[in-house]
Amino acid sequence: MNSNSQSTPTLQLTTTTQFIKGVGPARAEQLRRLGIRTALDLLFFLPRDYEHPAPRMRIADLKENLPASFVGTITEVDQITTQAGKTILGVLVEDDSGAARMMFFNQPYRLDALPRGLRVLVSGKPRLSGLRMELVHPKVIPLEEDEQAGDQGILPIYPLTEGINQSQMRRAIATVVDELAGEIAEVIPETIRQQATLVSIDEAMRNIHRPHDQAALDAARRRLIFQELFILQLALALRRRKLTSDLRSPPLPVDAAIDARILKRFPFELTGDQKKAFAEVSADMARQFPMNRLVQGDVGSGKTVIAQYAMLLAVANKHQAVLMAPTEVLARQHFETFRKSLSRSRVRLGLLTGTLSTLDRREVLKAAADGEIDLLVGTQALLNDKVVFKQLGLVVIDEQHKFGVSQRANLRRGGLDPHYLVLSATPIPRTVAMAAFGDLDVTTLKEKPPGRSQVHTYLAKDDWAQRWWDFLGQRVREGRQAFVVAPRVDSSDQEDVSSAQQIFDELRTGPLKSFRIGLLHGRMTPEEKNDTMTRFAQGRLQVLVATTVIEVGIDVPNATVMTILGANRFGLAQLHQLRGRVWRGSHPGYVCVFTDNEGLPEDDERLKTFASTSDGFALAEADYRMRGPGDLLGVRQSGMPPLRVADPLRDTEILEAARDLAMEIVDNDPHLEDPSLALLKQRVLTRYGNSLDLGDVA
């Protein structure tokens, strides 16, 4: 059969783009660069924005800087060429109320396209030039002598690639919308559509591409946003139901005696948020199904205290607890913190990292399996299949955003499921947390422990370098310590190490040569890292030059000064995490950020935001608005597919409605067995079945 016979009459959702009318092989290759291979891809290639029609009026009624459109006749055309060879075309257009001038620069082809006597529909933003309104590069549509100018509809604006313009993209998509919009499967039953006031998928697809008015566009967008969030919330509700109904965990209750014994381990005043977190965690752990709680908080809000309370509660109930950290430096620091605070207790500690010797590793594994370790701290080495516990009651994961859903689930192996507590030092806006971690209960810590000082943040000017190094030296001579964060170079750890080494060499032979300086980066051996951190923590090093290996958890209260070089290469959340390293003690902290020569305008906005606020939740929202939902909810962060049309921060009302309806449906039909939900269930499992471990729902 000739492949060309697949053209217009037999267009299907699976038809490759080259057989769509007006596309062909060359343009199909260009579309492929946008990820468009089939008619279905084109149908779901949604506009990034819309061009709204300007209000129609007479020329005499035009207002400066207010978009407008008018119909008139061209009465004068003048084009001049400058000495530099550039062209300036002036076109006078008149209606029965007056005249306006159109100006076109370096578009000589328009001279023949805009002859005297031509009726035109002109749209643009007028400005007053002398006594006459003028429009620079307006949109011009030629009209026949007796043609009535119809109302301009809302025009979609699509992302493009080289070789394709908006008109070509609109025509190709219009073809598939006309023929195939009705072929899209309707996955949301009519009863649910009525309850949520949603239009059909057919109507939504037609009006998202070619809306006949704003109301139609709003209804189409609501349908597509709701569907995306509804499918996600159904997946999360199914996972939540699975965790609370299908899985069983050991009840680990707290009583007054256990609570008092644990609290004695904290020789400081607890915040109200921490006390509330203790109550929520202990209530969860007393149940016969797994706790599944996220504790998020700003830097320095005391999240580790919540983890320690939960782990000691597990041990008090004769169960083991494990804490997994994203780096060996942080794992060892947690281990040392526990070792000191539990030095006079009978709690047995263990440490498991990828760099342990074979003998040491074998001993730790045996002790965990025999129940001779109560609290085990480690890195991703804990995910190894050889790690077995005698009676695991609690899993704590620090910096949860650095681990995907599937990695976290790996620790649930054998027998009863453990309780599950995850910590995040990257504050997440509430609605974003509902979208990304809706299977978790969320505890938020905002209060800082008493006695913590303020941190002053400065955005360096060009001539600040020497003054800042002098200031840093003055603080160090007063007995404080300082971090210097080397700039990121690229995604290569090797390159970042070279950058840190270069900064280290420059400072120890230059402005900081009179101080004891250390170097810390990811390529050092664990022994070298631990030795460097120990010397810095003990004050034997006064200044530490480091890569972002210090981003999370490094706790040296005497370090109060931080210099961040090449700060334009860091995200807001990472900058705030780094700043948290000098927010640990009672002395004021000082942070100064320097940019390199490769900064962009958006970098300036981000750094000004960072310098102007120390509220991690405000920064998280600003970071989210700047970066959009994709990065935060993408595979790298949460282990789930990114959202395409919905924005949890913008679409709060729709998200909450989708969540409420999803929970209601799963409460009434825990496995989505109603035949009317078959297509919806299939879509949920296709998109989120693997990432949320929903295989049993199928």
CA-CA distance, 506 to 378, in Å (whole number)?
A: 35
The per-residue pLDDT for range 490-547, each reduced to its tens digit, is 545 555 666 888 899 999 999 999 999 999 887 888 778 888 888 998 999 999 999 8
Residue 439 has pLDDT above 50, yes or no: yes
Same domain (yes/no): 413, 462: no
Same domain (yes/no): 64, 28: no
Same domain (yes/no): 374, 502: no
Do the domain assignments include residue 689?
Answer: no
Residue 369 has pLDDT above 60, yes or no: yes
Of 91 and 399, more confident: 91
CA-CA distance, 442 to 292, in Å (whole number)?
A: 9
CA-CA distance, 227 to 218, in Å (whole number)?
A: 14
Do the domain assignments include residue 696?
Answer: no
> 327's torsion region: left (phi>0), alpha (psi -120 to 50) or beta?
beta
Q: How confident is the model at residue 340 (pLDDT cuts 50, 70, 90)?
A: confident
Q: Which of 249-258, 592-601, 675-684 has the lowest mean pLDDT?
A: 592-601
Q: How confident is the model at residue 267 (pLDDT cuts 50, 70, 90)?
A: confident
Residue 196 has pLDDT above 90, yes or no: yes
Q: How confident is the model at residue 625 (pLDDT cuts 50, 70, 90)?
A: confident
The per-residue pLDDT for range 16-36, each reduced to its tens digit, is 999 998 898 999 999 999 999
**Which CATH number goes with the domain that contains 369?**
3.40.50.300
Domain count, the chain: 4
Same domain (yes/no): 375, 265: yes
Residue 242: predicted pLDDT: 81
Same domain (yes/no): 588, 552: yes
Q: Output the CA angle 122-125-129, nearest 5 degrees.
A: 100
Do the domain assignments include residue 234?
Answer: no
The radius of gyration of the chain's CA atoms, rounded to the nearest angstrom, is 31
**What does the DSSP 8-state code read for residue 550?**
G
Do the domain assignments include residue 441?
Answer: no
Q: How confident is the model at residue 636 (pLDDT cuts 50, 70, 90)?
A: very low
Report the relative pairing of strands 132-136 and 127-129 from DSSP bridges: antiparallel
The parent domain of residue 352 ranges over 256-286+301-424
Same domain (yes/no): 341, 418: yes
Residue 152: predicted pLDDT: 67
The per-residue pLDDT for range 51-89, each reduced to its tens digit, is 888 889 999 999 999 999 999 999 999 999 988 889 999
Same domain (yes/no): 173, 38: yes
> Helix (H, G, I), strand (E, B), or coil: what is residue 59?
helix
Q: Average pLDDT in the 326-353 region?
A: 87
The closest of 176, 325, 171, 310 to 249, measured between CA atoms, is: 310
Do the domain assignments include residue 77?
Answer: yes
Same domain (yes/no): 410, 542: no
Residue 656: exposure state from Cβ atoms within 10 A (0-12, 13-18, ≥19) = middle
Please give the share of the chain, as a percent, with pLDDT higher than 90. 51
Residue 617: predicted pLDDT: 80
Do the domain assignments include residue 683?
Answer: no
Q: Average pLDDT in the 629-637 region?
A: 43
Q: CB count, 10 Å around CB of 630? A: 12
- Among residues 562, 595, 613, the one where a domain terminates is 613
Q: How confident is the model at residue 46 (pLDDT cuts 50, 70, 90)?
A: very high
- Among residues 613, 641, 656, the one where a domain terminates is 613
Same domain (yes/no): 13, 93: no
Residue 624: predicted pLDDT: 73
Q: Average pLDDT in the 146-153 region?
A: 70
Of 160 and 550, more confident: 160
Residue 513: predicted pLDDT: 93
Q: Average pLDDT in the 607-630 region?
A: 78
pLDDT mean across residues, the chain: 86
- Among residues 581, 613, 645, the one where a domain terminates is 613
Do the domain assignments include residue 342?
Answer: yes
Please give the share of the chain, as a percent, with pLDDT higher than 70. 89
Do the domain assignments include residue 667?
Answer: no
Same domain (yes/no): 598, 525: yes
Q: How confident is the model at residue 216 (pLDDT cuts 50, 70, 90)?
A: very high
Same domain (yes/no): 539, 559: yes
Q: Average pLDDT in the 91-107 region?
A: 95
Same domain (yes/no): 409, 513: no
Alpha helices of 598-644 — where are they, by DSSP H? Answer: 601-612, 616-627, 629-633, 635-638
CA-CA distance, 114 to 291, in Å (whole number)?
A: 72
Residue 3: predicted pLDDT: 42
The closest of 557, 547, 428, 528 to 486, measured between CA atoms, is: 547
How much is the pTM? Answer: 0.69
**Which CATH number goes with the domain that contains 63?**
2.40.50.140
